[in-house]
Amino acid sequence: MPTITAEEVDSHRQELIAYCYRFFGSYADAEDAVQETMLRAWRRADTFRSDSSTRTWIYSIATNVCLDMRKAPSRRALPMDLNGPGDVPSDNRPLRTRPDESWIGPLPGRFLPQPEDPADAAQQRDSLRLAFVAALQTLPVLQRIVLILRDALAWSAAECAELLKTTVPSVNSALTRARRTLGTKALPQRVGTGSDVRTADAYVTAFERYDVDALVELLSAEAEFSMPPFELWLRGRLAIREWWRGPGAVCRGSRVVPTSSNGCPAVAVYHPREDGTYGAFAVHVLDIDDGQITAITHFMGAGVFGDFELPAEIL
């Protein structure tokens, strides 16, 4: 007879989505991995030992699923991981794109774990930021898993060793190598402030008015602006201002719905239509540090809105 219930297994679904997302950089892949984890867990329920942790057992299954699903040697990235910043095109030539599976995707905010401890909550939030998730994809698989467990989820070295069926020194060695590889891209230590909330609110107001000067005032000097699947990305207030006054002006008159993604504020932008409705266009994920926007990442298409459980059109 199974010694663990379906309810106990399912209670870990939300945090497993975030765990698998960090591994893949894709919400769709994370969903598939967690679904397979749930199936394997229930089929193997009779192998669960009551003297072991339910969480360690289910994470062990999820880790093996991720290893089975990984698509080497390809990895997902952000535009700034592939080339230097570009310039706003001066003509109407099409921008270069890459297939969707080339890019880090967004994680809807409903999957952000909510630990009771504020420090743990901040760590969970920061470990889902897009730049950190992209950096994780550069690591060898074992180092990636260890770094996620140790630095993002605050597991002990002993817990990691039990899950991976290895030794504590091996875990510590993998963690050291992973941190050294990431260097300045290692897990950021940020504390959200009231000014960050005010900045996100101001972005909503300025974007609906399409007040470019007000939008630029919200940016840090070296803010980054990207739009997967396009390879082009921009850096700095001047370049981003030029985009908003040029190609970006198609967003004039849009409606904006606040949401959240990857531990950050986000907005869903709907473009006006001739029939008076507004159609889904893009979700903007806003990285905000000390009241200034340091990165805006745009994710376009109706499929993204479906992932966020947002309507395809609004009135």
Q: Map 150-208 to HEC letters.
A: HHHCCCCHHHHHHHHCCCHHHHHHHHHHHHHHHHHHCCCCCCCCHHHHHHHHHHHHHHH
- Which among 295, 22, 306, 280 has a CA at the least distance from the CA of 137? 22
The phi and psi torsions of 264 (rounded to 5 degrees) equal -125, 160
Integer Cα distance of 31 and 16 in angstroms: 9
Please report, as a single letter, which amino acid is at residue 218: L
Ordered alpha helix ranges (H), the chain: 6-10, 13-24, 27-43, 54-69, 118-126, 130-136, 141-147, 157-164, 168-182, 194-209, 212-217, 237-245, 302-307
Integer Cα distance of 287 and 57 in angstroms: 34
Measured torsion, CA atoms of residues 284, 129, 303, 204, in degrees rounded to the nearest 10: -20
Residue ranges of domains in the chain, CATH in brackets: 6-76+102-185 (1.20.140), 194-314 (3.10.450.50)
CA angle 33, 180, 79 (to 5 degrees): 60
Q: How would you write the pLDDT of the chain (315 residues) with one tens digit per residue?
A: 446 777 887 889 999 999 999 999 999 999 999 999 999 998 887 777 765 688 889 999 999 999 999 865 568 999 999 999 999 998 888 999 999 999 999 999 999 988 878 888 888 899 999 999 999 999 999 999 999 999 999 999 999 999 999 999 999 999 999 999 998 776 666 656 668 889 999 999 999 999 999 999 999 999 999 999 999 999 999 999 999 999 999 999 999 999 999 999 999 999 999 999 999 999 999 999 999 999 999 999 889 999 999 999 999
How far is CA 207 from each of CA 119, 240, 288, rounded to the nearest angstrom? 32, 14, 16
The phi and psi torsions of 211 (rounded to 5 degrees) equal -95, 95
Measured torsion, CA atoms of residues 131, 136, 137, 139, in degrees rounded to the nearest 10: 140
DSSP class of residue 97?
B
Integer Cα distance of 68 and 80 in angstroms: 29
Please state the separation of Cα 144 from the chain's center in Å. 15
- Which among 93, 36, 112, 108 has a CA at the least distance from the CA of 67? 36
Contact indicator for 107, 15 with CB cutoff of 8 Å: no
Q: How many CB atoms lie within 10 A of CB 306?
A: 13
What is the pLDDT at residue 123? 87
Q: What is the three-class DSSP state of 283?
A: strand
What is the pLDDT at residue 1? 42
Residues contacting residue 245 through CB under 8 Å, at least 6 positions apart = 212
Sign of the CA dihedral running 226, 230, 232, 238 = negative
What is the pLDDT at residue 67? 92
